[in-house]
Amino acid sequence: MRVLVVEDYEVLARSIGTGLRREGMAVDVVLDGNEALDHLSTTRYDVVVLDRDLPGTHGDEVCRQITAQRRDSRVLMLTASVTVKDRVEGLGLGADDYLPKPFDFSELVARVRALGRRAQPATPPTLRAADLTLDPSRRVAFRAGQRLELSPKEFALLECLLASGDRVVSSEELLERVWDEAADPFTTAVKTTMRRLRAKLGDPPVIETVREGGYRIGVPG
Amino acid sequence: MRVLVVEDYEVLARSIGTGLRREGMAVDVVLDGNEALDHLSTTRYDVVVLDRDLPGTHGDEVCRQITAQRRDSRVLMLTASVTVKDRVEGLGLGADDYLPKPFDFSELVARVRALGRRAQPATPPTLRAADLTLDPSRRVAFRAGQRLELSPKEFALLECLLASGDRVVSSEELLERVWDEAADPFTTAVKTTMRRLRAKLGDPPVIETVREGGYRIGVPG
DNA sequence: TGGGCGGTGTCAGCCCGGTGTCAACGACTG
DNA sequence: CAGTCGTTGACACCGGGCTGACACCGCCCA
């Protein structure tokens, strides 16, 4: 779990950082609001532990920007004040939880953990054609319900073809998209990999060859 | 949003009920712990507002039973005491939030709302896959009912894999999510930790390697 | 019928990931 | 403070599967 700690009192900040790391979390520590927004613009955090009373950009403002931009980060706000008014305001700003100072460290841990349970990103769709199924995120492919054991290049090749629908894909394009390195134009890589892929796909053939053109998914005719 | 209010002081209970209803929530009110457990066994609530000092079955006990049975209900505990110790204990019992009496009604509403929001997309508190079980909040993991003794990094690695379902997770992603930002791109940390995690998980293997891709939970096929 | 494109068989090199080991580091204990 | 233990990550090494070149073949079409 990735956590960002934003706290201007350096001794406290470091201590929180070390403590959370000891609990197995990946922690970054920053000392002011601007630095926080900096980190947040480049890195995904599960939880942000945010001191409300920050010099420079105030904690409230940081919180507002977090909830505006990165909805996948939860905010635990630390505050020195304990009045009801403050607590309500904090929640109103989009903080997901708050903790009045001084706090017990075990309580901080418990709250960060609770916030860290977050939804996972949506799974991208699976590709289908003929009796083929390919799931890029799970890296599995099936033919007629039978799982295929494909090597990385074979998998990428099939994925590229499936993603192109029933369009003809030239060898040059396949080379560029699957190999993406500085491609020797005279390489036999596509040819060789295609052969092995076809062998694993079995009968009847599903990859059609278009002479002088390239390859296409689907039964001929 | 469905809310259950458990509070023995009837005047307060009714008042909370009416107030929350005015905020658009569906509220049931009960006056003691046994009645509460009764309702909880038949109805799904998003949030339970629970007085800690109840006659008969104590609030702590109710809370324990709620978290044991219906983990999809969030508990907001009301208590007369305000010490840090109490708060930690409450959270340890499985309460999700805590509100000391006396409180301002607007704060109660804000907190019930916040908990309700959290209840919707919450990932199930325990992660499961194959014969693996992992409870992030209690920091324990089991394989086939057998408790696993995992180091922090090993635990975080397994948690990250389990949270990704049967998706393939790349080493880079694992590095980013489990380790902190001092990310040496040539580190062997993932490799080494994965090895030790696998050793502790034992046979048969549950973490599949996808060459050039990463790792995935689950037996091949 | 011959040229050229694409399929096939084979093989050597290589890269990826697994493994064994060690040193550094921090926490705990006497 | 010294000693010990658990954790962590670097390093070196290994093995096997993957990969792509090469030579050859077969088929389609001029």
pLDDT in tens, A191-205: 999 999 999 998 888
Label the pairing between strands A214-217 and A207-210: antiparallel
**∠ CA(A56), CA(A60), CA(A61), 5° rounding?**
60
pLDDT attached to residue A210? 87
Whether residue A124 has pLDDT greater than 80: no
Lowest mean pLDDT among A172-186, B113-127, B167-181: B113-127
B111 and chain A in contact, CB less than 8 A: yes
- Comparing alpha-carbon positions, the chain A residue that sits nearest to B137 is A113
Beta carbons of A92 and B106 less than 8 Å apart: no
Nearest-CA neighbor of B4 among B72, B55, B56, B68? B72
Q: Is the CB of B139 under 7 A from strand D?
A: no
Per-residue exposure over A12-30, b if at least 16 CB sit within 10 Å of its own CB, e if not: ebeebbebbeebbbbbbbb
Whether the beta carbon of B56 falls within 7 A of nucleic chain C: the reply is no
Which residue of A38, A117, A142 to mutate against B (max B Cβ within 10 Å)?
Answer: A117
Rg (CA), chain A: 26
CA A212 → C1' C22, Å?
58
- Residue B145 to chain A, least CA–CA distance (Å): 23
Instruction: Compute CA A157 distance to the chain's CA centroid, rounded to the nearest angstrom.
Output: 23
CA of B147 to nearest chain A CA: how many angstroms apart? Answer: 18
Contact flag, residue A187 CB and nucleic strand D, below 7 A: yes
Query: In the predicted model, what is the mean pLDDT of chain A?
Result: 81
What's the rounded Cα separation, in Å, for the pair B122 and A201?
A: 40
Residue found under tokens 């003794």:
B149
Min Cα distance B177 → chain A (Å) is: 6
Confidence of residue B214 (pLDDT cuts 50, 70, 90): very high
The pLDDT score that the predictor gives to residue A197 is 95
- DSSP H helical segments within A93-204, as ranges? 105-116, 152-163, 171-174, 189-201
Higher local confidence (pLDDT), B217 or A83: B217
List the structure tokens of A64.
Answer: 């507002």
Distance CA B58, CA B150 (A): 35
Residue B168 has pLDDT above 90, yes or no: yes
Cβ of residue B174 lies below 7 Å from strand C: no
Residues in CB range of A220: below 8 A, 6 or more apart: A205, A208
Length of chain B: 221
